[in-house]
Amino acid sequence: MLKIHKVVKRFGEFKALDNCSFELEKGEIVGLIGPNGAGKSTLINVITGFLECDSGEIFYKGKPIHKSDPNIISRMGLVRTHQIPRFFLFNTVLDCLIIAGLAAPNIEKSGVSGKVEKMLEMFKLEGIKNEITSNISVGQQKLLEFAMKMMLDPETLMLDEPYQGVHPSMIEISNQIILNLNKQFAKTVLVISHNFPVISSICSRVIVLNSGKIIATGTAEEVKNNKKVIETYLGGV
């Protein structure tokens, strides 16, 4: 589904990504972990077209995307969320989903309202659909951005720190949604997080990034017991 091959990204003399390579297979839920400054968000920005890599290649469904605009990449079926959720700040939750639906290239305008109702139900947002987005919790804001991306009916989702600053009950809702999307609709998901216990509970595979380099990949158990990962990040967790 997605192939990243020897990707390098520099900011001046600083090499944020150093020959990163990995693949995502269709229908996988994969975790990406690493300490602060490891390059996780930079990697997602490069994959989704928000930053251009200095060298290397990225392929989505066999097509090169490393020089593509984010809008083109999202229309191909690859979308991402952000650490700080992005939505329409002074609109209601309902308005945000409607606007996202109207912008979706594959939804007839007459079908937007039905899709919105499904997203409100799936993401447990029915009770706050008339709330102004600036008034809802961080966890609800993250769910809203996630739901807005799902209005595009993507095949692949990249969730950047979906658990950060979020109540445990919201984490449980997020994980149940991810698992349901994967099981029912074969969505491919990459979850970027510091929360290794949560990541390990839903991901079939974990990739570890440190100082711009991928230092390990494998099952949660394999990564947990990897000596290099323990020394640089987990500390024996």
pLDDT 10s digits, 31-72: 999 888 889 989 999 999 999 999 999 999 999 999 899 989
> For residue 173, is pLDDT > 80?
yes
- Asked whether 20 and 57 are in contact (CB, 8 A), the reply is no
Of all residues in the chain, what percent carry a pLDDT higher than 90?
A: 65
Question: What is the value of pTM for the model shown?
Answer: 0.89
The helix/strand/coil state of 227 is: helix
For the chain, domains (ranges, CATH) are 1-77+155-237 (3.40.50.300), 85-153 (no CATH)
* Rounded-to-integer distance, Cα 50 and Cα 53, Å: 10
